[in-house]
Amino acid sequence: MTAAEDLPAAGGATSAAHAERIAGAAAARRRARPPLLAIRDVTKVFGRDVVALRGMTLDVRQGDFISLLGPSGCGKSTALKLISGLIHPTAGRIEWLGGASAQDGDLGVVFQEPTLMPWATVAQNVWLPMRLKGRSFAACRAEIDEALATVGLAGFEAAYPRELSGGMKMRVSIARALVTRPRLILMDEPFAALDEITRFKLNNDLLEMRAKLDCTVIFVTHSVFESVFLSDRIVVMAARPGRVIRELTVDEPYPRTEDFRTSADYAAHCRETSAALHEAMGDAPHDDH
Ligand code: ADP
Ligand code: MG
């Protein structure tokens, strides 16, 4: 914590000034982070003329929590797939900086569906990325147990996916993404299928995990509330063609708790983000899927 955050808040104007100093300190910390990934004017065209993403430029810094926020079809998943190296840009480039790479366990990915192997136990599912690198289950056991403890699933190592709730399955999927201690975690609408209470709980826990692992997160969502709660940078996108419209910052200090979720500052950020999203959607023809 910085000195600015340690100052006691007094009432009235002093407290507004205090809030401003905290936001200023958070912004300064955010800008001082070293670069991790440079996305430069990236375009992805599928087939002849489906422009899934047009001219995306984004500097990702170590320790950022970035949300890609936008309506269906604005290229959010395409952006994540490009970053993960699963697909390649039609034009533009993506560069890893500071010695990281999409290989070597520096990257973890969480999809909307937990995509667990039903015939394997929770621990065996989490072992997968290490198994693919030829490491034995026994050799990975300590790391698997630690990842499961991090996501709150200690004691469920021997359970099978069918025995778990939707939220717990997603926790397994997150454990599998973070077991290699990646520098960057990509999450594609991971909580969209969960009920609101479970989603809030997972949002809180995700921030705790992130603080513990000290990693960078790029998180895809179409929820304004989720993006503001989690991120310090929000990239607002529009569809047809998929593109970035605006970037907003949420310079509120972490840890963020239920107090933040019910604060006036949170509501103000949500209003601003919601307005930006409406602007983005107003630009595009209506989604007729
Ligand atoms: P989002 O995740 O924001 O909903 P996507 O990145 O999945 O959006 O898709 C962006 C656009 O690209 C959509 O119009 C989608 O139909 C199209 N698209 C995505 N993947 C493919 C593909 N493999 N082939 C053809 N079109 C695709
Ligand atoms: Mg998608």
Atom of ligand 1 nearest to the CA of 237: 3
Provide the 8-state DSSP code for 2. -
Provide the pLDDT for residue 5: 45
Ligand whose nearest atom lies closest to the CA of 289: 1
Taking 60 as the threshold, does the pLDDT of residue 72 lie above it? yes
**Closest Cα to atom 20, ligand 1: which residue?**
78
What pTM does this model have? 0.91
Do residues 185 and 109 touch, judged by C-beta distance below 8 A?
yes
Provide the pLDDT for residue 288: 42
Provide the pLDDT for residue 187: 97
pLDDT 10s digits, 93-109 = 999 997 777 776 789 99
| Cα 244 to ligand 2 centre (Å) | 15
pLDDT 10s digits, 232-281 = 999 999 999 999 999 999 999 999 988 999 999 999 999 999 999 998 88
| Cα 74 to ligand 1 centre (Å) | 8
Q: What percent of the chain has pLDDT over 70?
A: 92
The one-letter code for the residue type at 10 is: A
**Beta bridge pairs of residue 68:** 220, 235
Phi-psi region of 262 (alpha: psi -120 to 50; beta: other; left: phi over 0): alpha
d(CA 130, CA 143): 10
Provide the pLDDT for residue 287: 47
